[in-house]
Amino acid sequence: MPSTPPHARTDATLDPQDWDAFRALAHRMVDDSLDFISTLHERPAWTPVPPDVRTTIAAERVPRTPQGEAAVYDQFLTHVLPYSNGSRSPRFFGWVQGNGTPLGMMADMLASGMNAHLAGFNDAGRLVEERVIAWLAELMGLPAASGGLLMSGGTMANYLGLAVARHAKAGFDVRTLGALGGPRLAVYASHEVHSWAQKCLELLGLGSESLRKVPVDDAFEVDVAAMRAMIATDRSAGLRPICVIGSAGTVNCGATDDLDALADLAAAEDLWFHVDGAFGALARLSPALAPIVKGMERADSIALDLHKWGFLPFEIACVLVRDAEQQRAAFSLTPSYLRDEGRGVIAGGLTFADRGPELTRGFKALKAWMSFKAHGVDAIGAIIEQNVMQARAFGERIARVPGIAISAPVPLNIVCWRWVPAGFTGEQCDALNRELLLRIQESGLAVPSGSMVNGRYVIRTCITNHRTKWADLERFADGIAPLAGVIESEMR
């Protein structure tokens, strides 16, 4: 008998050498994180990375030898923790980002501690994700038996919805033949659709030309008659329309398309109806706001983010698919080493791996499951409603400031505005507002973002923030004129 080779008898591990010391350090990590979060209102909305921190991190060599947990944690405290993009702050109003919650943070830690593998498997994590998807289906008005999957973000959730749409409506076997197996497939959405749509069609092999962009009206809602006409024209030109995308809350202005009209159109044309509700879908959690997204419940698939208006820490989003079987048909693939044996750890098959492109997936569901139960979904809906009321009141508040013009209606939680001094041309106003945005961010006053509305540069204040109080918005509103006045006189 050959003897055991020497290296098989070593007992190296990455577990702590001293559990008591590690436990004390771990407790400190939790305390420091909670200290930071509980004092956010006293801090600047954004603190840029200082130059010395930047150069220190950029110069770090591959760490081949141990520095120890405590030393590395100290580096995290001084070099990393304070310098996020500000999304935790009560005065963060940029893009569409949630703020995270302490409970969500802890749930992510617990999920990581379990090291749960959510391809499926015969375990409790699977039951939790199934439950979260079923809850979301019910809340969005889809049948309880709907399919779905938690995804990393709205982009990927939308991508998955479109991949199922392509499989269901291409009219040929896309999985075998690829996108070349038939005529050019076409997908319809408004000009205001988020950039995921183009990326997604490129990724699906349909090409960006397959994204047919339809004009919007004065409220930035899609012109449904124009979409109908475009579908007819495309059909006669030999294209094959497969899908209508409705936006529930556009990223620029928060507009929601007439989803009932789009559902009617999709039904009449035998097209898949997908709703991008990345943030807007969750308006349905508030009885007062639910009418805004009426018609969404008729969708074949819905994408929504829980790391935006669900306020959970990044990353978590969900795609819901009315017909669970169609989702499976688009993705299911079971190699021999992943076969369901009926019993044991893999009993029931890898249900989530069969619903999308990923095999190994983390336990994102835990933070949703714990948060929904701990806070109650109605409380989340109430904060969403609060944000919408805050946006409307903020719009009215700054509209009274001499020099500020509101650039678009405020149907949801986004206020687009700009500083327009008398005698300035449109281009000069664009330049002034670009500079104003940066000074607002750099001063730590608040973090709004910028965008273009009707060809003009605007400052976009998007309130997707469970920490924002009216006092935060007043402080922001009061801080605008002094900063704008300085830039205005510099430019004159």
Ligand X SMILES: *Cc1c(COP(=O)(O)O)cnc(C)c1O
Q: How far apart are CA 299 and CA 344, in angstroms?
A: 37
Q: How far apart are the first and last CA of the chain?
A: 91
Q: Does 221 bind ligand X (CB under 6 A)?
A: no
Q: Does 460 bind ligand X (CB under 6 A)?
A: no
Token pair in block for residue 395: 């719009």
The continuous run of DSSP H or E covering 416 comes out as strand 414-419
Task: Round the CA-based radius of gyration of the chain to a whole number and report it.
Answer: 25
The one segment of 108-116, 152-160, 329-337, 445-453 that binds ligand X by CB under 6 A: 152-160
Q: How far apart are CA 327 and CA 303, in angstroms?
A: 14
The one segment of 140-148, 271-279, 350-358, 481-489 that binds ligand X by CB under 6 A: 271-279
Nearer to ligand X, 100 or 154 (CB): 154
CB of 277 to ligand X, least distance (A): 8
Binder among 92, 196, 273, 372 for ligand X (CB under 6 A): 196
Q: Are 170 and 185 in contact (CB under 8 A)?
A: yes
Distance of CA 76 to the CA centre of its chain: 26
Nearer to ligand X, 200 or 227 (CB): 200
CB of 121 to ligand X, least distance (A): 26
Nearer to ligand X, 239 or 283 (CB): 283
Binder among 129, 257, 258, 276 for ligand X (CB under 6 A): 276
Q: Does 436 bind ligand X (CB under 6 A)?
A: no
Size of the site for ligand X (CB under 6 A): 15
| DSSP label at residue 76 | I
Q: How many CA atoms lie within 13 A of 175 on its CB side?
A: 13
Site map (CB under 6 A) of ligand X, residues 307-326, x = contact: ----------x---------
CB of 190 to ligand X, least distance (A): 11
Q: How far apart are CA 234 and CA 244, in angstroms?
A: 13
DSSP string, 387-423: HHHHHHHHHHHHHTSTTEEE-S--SSSEEEEEE--TT
Binder among 188, 279, 309, 331 for ligand X (CB under 6 A): 279
Nearer to ligand X, 276 or 488 (CB): 276
Q: How far apart are CA 201 and CA 113, in angstroms?
A: 37
Q: Does 305 bind ligand X (CB under 6 A)?
A: yes
What HEC string does 158-187 produce? HHHHHHHHHHHHCCCCHHHHHHHHCCCEEE
CB of 101 to ligand X, least distance (A): 17
Q: How far apart are CA 475 and CA 472, in angstroms?
A: 5
Binder among 111, 186, 206, 251 for ligand X (CB under 6 A): 251
Nearer to ligand X, 281 or 330 (CB): 281
The one segment of 4-12, 74-82, 276-284, 285-293 that binds ligand X by CB under 6 A: 276-284
Burial class (CB in 10 A: 0-12, 13-18, 19+), 403: middle
Pick from 189, 243, 186, 245: nearest CA to 216:
189
Q: Does 278 bind ligand X (CB under 6 A)?
A: yes
CB of 293 to ligand X, least distance (A): 12
The one segment of 13-21, 248-256, 283-291, 331-339 that binds ligand X by CB under 6 A: 248-256
Nearer to ligand X, 275 or 487 (CB): 275
Nearer to ligand X, 239 or 244 (CB): 244
Q: Segment 93-122, which members bind ligand X (CB under 6 A)?
A: 96
Q: Is 312 helix (H, G, I), strand (E, B) or coil?
A: coil
The one segment of 245-253, 354-362, 399-407, 423-431 that binds ligand X by CB under 6 A: 245-253
The continuous run of DSSP H or E covering 257 comes out as none
Distance of CA 212 to the CA centre of its chain: 23
DSSP β-ladder status, 185-190 and 404-406: unpaired
Nearer to ligand X, 157 or 350 (CB): 157
Q: Does 153 bind ligand X (CB under 6 A)?
A: yes
Nearer to ligand X, 368 or 483 (CB): 368
Q: Which residue type occupies 51? A: P
Q: How far apart are CA 43 and CA 108, in angstroms?
A: 25
Nearer to ligand X, 96 or 186 (CB): 96
The residue number whose beta carbon is nearest to ligand X equals 154
CB of 194 to ligand X, least distance (A): 3
Q: Does 194 bind ligand X (CB under 6 A)?
A: yes
Non-local (6+) Cβ contacts of 330 within 8 A are: 163, 164, 166, 167, 168, 175
CB of 254 to ligand X, least distance (A): 9
CB of 153 to ligand X, least distance (A): 3
Q: How far apart are CA 420 and CA 436, in angstroms?
A: 11
CB of 311 to ligand X, least distance (A): 13
Q: Which residues bind ligand X (CB under 6 A)?
A: 96, 153-155, 158, 194, 196, 249-251, 276, 278-279, 305, 317
